[in-house]
Structure 1
Amino acid sequence: MRTVGVEEELLLVDPETGEPRALSAAVLARAARYEVAEEEPVFQKELHNQMVEFATHPQSEMGELGADIVRIRAEAAQHAREAGCAVAALATSPLAVRPSVSIGQRYRWMADQYRIATREQIVCGCHVHVSVASDEEGVAVIDRLRPWLSVLTALSANSPFWQGRETGYSSYRSRVWLRWPSAGPTELFGSAERYHRRVADMLATGTILDEKMVYFDARLSARWPTVEVRVADVCLHAHTAVLVATLARALVETAARDWEAGKEPADHSVSLLRLADWRAARSGLTGDLVDPLTMRNAPAETVVRSLLEYVEDALTDSGDLERARESCAGLLLNGNGSQMQREVFERTGSLREVVTTCVRQTQT
């Protein structure tokens, strides 16, 4: 069974005011006291000092992955408390923030190259790594994932507010993220050789610093034998992150099986895929999405059902089908992180209360 690992970015906020706090160095210093020297650090610094990132270990069982996410979120909350702040699984800050770029040659290069776009990238995502047998299989998977990734954006949407304002989007993080020149959906590659040639051509322009800055919606990991799916907002609740990881693995498995069976990928243009991404970011689960099967508008519930049907065999074989169905039904009934944030604001009229509520919800 394919293994899955999750990377989550969390926002550091003042526990009283809800405003972002540039305390990542203090949080990471406290986390380092608990790290085992021979092992890969769980927590890492991010582009901005108001953020911290963690990575789970690869897991083949989704219950274990969920337990890892819950445990590490709790550890992050403990380290943050010791540093005088709190962690919130928010994909953007509801309150205004003055960006503070982290120290380091790489981040200085990005700040100088991209200017205001770098300062605005205080956005928190959820990246899912799914194991693949080879680069050739990985690129075949990437080619076949493309139409379905917007549905993961809609399910995970958790960023309706930006700099103290209602954006009208469910996932405004995804719109900010597209300000990077290498971000977004990709055309069909057809082979690993063509994928790597495209990456080399991008690097040769001097516009991006290295392979890690190839911010495709789904890409080959530069470090691990995985396909990395990068379209999701950081999810407010750990169980939603598990759902996104479950569906990402099922999509990878289904795409690999289609490739082995000689089934060609859908030849949708990048223009259409960008429209589907925009619709998912705008609507979340509260309006129409673009159905990957027809590339026409359809209610969110219909599109989510299409996704579940597309990956049903893979979910059945991994033992995840019923849990995935129940989780999707729960999100459609009760709302995702974006809907929850809006409900709190409508009830209280306070963005501070939105943040403090999300701090508590991050631990559930």
Structure 2
Amino acid sequence: MRTFGVEEELLLVDESELTPLPLGWQVAERNSFRAHSGHELTAELQQEQLEVVNPPQSTLSGQLASIQTGRAWADACAAEFGGRVVALATVPGAVTPHLVPQHRFQQMAGWAGITARQQLTGGLHIHVLVHSRAEGVAVLDRIRVWLPTLLALSSNSPFWEDDDTAFHSYRYQTWSRWPNTGPPDLFGSIERYDRQRESLLRSRVPLDEGMLYFDARICDRHSTVEIRVPDVCLFARHAAVIAALTRALVETAARDWRAGVPPLLVETAVLRAWTWRASRCGVESLLVDPYTAMPAPAGEVVTRLIDTVAPVLAEYREDRQVDSLISEILRNGTGAYHQREAFRHAGDLRDVVAAALHSTHEVSEPISPKAKALRREPVNAGEE
């Protein structure tokens, strides 16, 4: 069974004002490692952010518990400085970020200019074990068509600079201003993957390997593929189920590779358009079905994804758990929907942050393998 771990980029806010708090570097410096649980806390590009690195897990239930533990620990660390952490992928209100005083970040800001100065978004990075770099490339080739669906399920960033953007994941739009972002190409071999990587590094557009920001990539530090396309999720259970679904997708892709099943041939420019739609519409309208390359109701496309990985989910005994939680997302909405509902009821973006803070630290009941599966209901296409 493949292990999988997650990294969550969380927003740091003042405990009383609920406005961004520029003390992330100080919080991370004082509390970098939680020995008992194996969680790590690191600074990100901007002071208003913290990243929680969760230890690898082997089950969906374990992943949920780990995410909840990581969020609670980061929140306790932030409290030492009068702050809280909240799982928002963009800041709803206006903010002027403060760069973390580290050499690499200073270099990035000097090179990328306003793109770096304005960069304050939170992603969910999912690491799944692979047994070789060749397997990693084969996995990337086969999961790339499903990355827009993962983005739609995670969407949690409708607001930007005091405005409703009309997007469900506006984080993806702002993040895409960086070079070397977006869907990975179809490689076919580790040699082609390495040639592209070396060509990009020789161009000196990315300053180093860490700035190859594609939606999925082979990790240089661990024996994993790293799926970087999702927003950080408002609810811990949403993050856990998307991570479990991703793990099953990686395992399915690896099995297909070993069986000689070719990847779906979708050009990168076309896949980029599919991802833009997922960023714009979330799960409330249409997504593109990778098998038909045509728009379809989001619920149908998500169901197609679950059906694709169903044998692995059943083998891992996570089929009912995943079905139940994904059905919840389709029925009750992603973080983007919940943020908009909070604003609709209160009319104040500060109340959006307050509601998100509650949701971030909501403790779910343990996920039982015997949990009753909820019926998946395709989402209506709606107006676009």
TM-score by length of 2: 0.92
1:182 is matched with: 180
2:298 is matched with: 300
Amino acid at match of 1:12: L
Contact 1:159 1:338 in 2 (8 A): yes
Is 2:47 the counterpart of 1:54? no
2:163 is matched with: 165
* More moved, 55-64 vs 345-354: 55-64
Task: Quote the offset at 1:235 in angstroms.
Answer: 0.3
1:313 is matched with: 311
Task: Quote the offset at 1:92 in angstroms.
Answer: 0.2
Q: Equivalents in 1 of 2:98, 2:196: separation in Å?
A: 33
Contact 1:173 1:233 in 2 (8 A): yes
Task: Quote the offset at 1:271 in angstroms.
Answer: 1.4
* More moved, 148-157 vs 11-20: 11-20
Q: Equivalents in 2 of 1:232, 1:221: separation in Å?
A: 16
Q: Equivalents in 2 of 1:115, 1:254: separation in Å?
A: 41
2:11 is matched with: 11
Task: Quote the offset at 1:105 in angstroms.
Answer: 1.4
Task: Quote the offset at 1:345 in angstroms.
Answer: 0.3
1:330 is matched with: 328
State the SS of the aligned residue for 1:174. Answer: helix
Q: Deviations over 1:20-41 (max 9, x none)?
A: 1101123224424x6449x976
Structure-to-structure mapping, 1:66-105, within 5 angstroms? 66-105=64-103
State the SS of the aligned residue for 1:83. Answer: coil
Amino acid at match of 1:8: E
Structure 1 runs of 4+ aligned residues shifted over 6 Å read: none
Contact 2:122 2:171 in 1 (8 A): yes
* More moved, 40-49 vs 317-326: 40-49
1:225 is matched with: 223
Contact 2:115 2:177 in 1 (8 A): yes
Contact 2:169 2:280 in 1 (8 A): yes
Q: Equivalents in 2 of 1:103, 1:17: separation in Å?
A: 24
Identity %: 44
1:27 is matched with: 27
- Seen in structure 2, the aligned counterparts of structure 1 residues 232 and 88 have a Cα distance that, compared at 3 Å, is same
Contact 1:16 1:356 in 2 (8 A): no
Contact 1:289 1:297 in 2 (8 A): yes
Amino acid at match of 1:5: G
State the SS of the aligned residue for 1:128. Answer: strand
- Seen in structure 2, the aligned counterparts of structure 1 residues 40 and 196 have a Cα distance that, compared at 3 Å, is farther
Amino acid at match of 1:236: L
Partner residue of 2:268 out of 264, 267, 270: 270
- Seen in structure 2, the aligned counterparts of structure 1 residues 362 and 200 have a Cα distance that, compared at 3 Å, is same
2:365 is matched with: none
Q: Equivalents in 2 of 1:309, 1:14: separation in Å?
A: 43
Contact 1:19 1:96 in 2 (8 A): no
State the SS of the aligned residue for 1:311. Answer: helix
State the SS of the aligned residue for 1:64. Answer: helix
Q: Equivalents in 2 of 1:294, 1:324: separation in Å?
A: 24
State the SS of the aligned residue for 1:159. Answer: coil
State the SS of the aligned residue for 2:228. Answer: strand
Partner residue of 1:193 out of 181, 191, 194: 191
Partner residue of 1:349 out of 343, 347, 350: 347
Which ranges in structure 2 are unaligned for 5 or more consecutive residues?
363-384
Contact 2:9 2:49 in 1 (8 A): yes
Q: Equivalents in 2 of 1:180, 1:290: separation in Å?
A: 25
Task: Quote the offset at 1:289 in angstroms.
Answer: 0.8
Q: Equivalents in 1 of 2:18, 2:354: separation in Å?
A: 6
Amino acid at match of 2:336: S
Task: Quote the offset at 1:103 in angstroms.
Answer: 1.0
2:200 is matched with: 202
Amino acid at match of 2:260: G
Q: Equivalents in 2 of 1:328, 1:72: separation in Å?
A: 22
1:358 is matched with: 356
Q: Equivalents in 2 of 1:40, 1:354: separation in Å?
A: 32
Contact 1:111 1:119 in 2 (8 A): yes
Partner residue of 1:215 out of 210, 213, 216: 213
Amino acid at match of 2:157: S
Amino acid at match of 1:200: E
**Length, aligned pairs only:** 362
Task: Quote the offset at 1:281 in angstroms.
Answer: 0.5
Q: Equivalents in 2 of 1:291, 1:16: separation in Å?
A: 45
Task: Quote the offset at 1:309 in angstroms.
Answer: 0.5
Partner residue of 1:153 out of 151, 154, 159: 151
Contact 2:184 2:217 in 1 (8 A): no
* More moved, 342-351 vs 182-191: 182-191
Q: Deviations over 1:112-149 (max 9, x none)?
A: 11101111210000000000010000000000011101
Q: Equivalents in 1 of 2:203, 2:30: separation in Å?
A: 40
Contact 2:143 2:249 in 1 (8 A): yes
Contact 2:39 2:55 in 1 (8 A): no
TM-score by length of 1: 0.97
Amino acid at match of 1:181: P
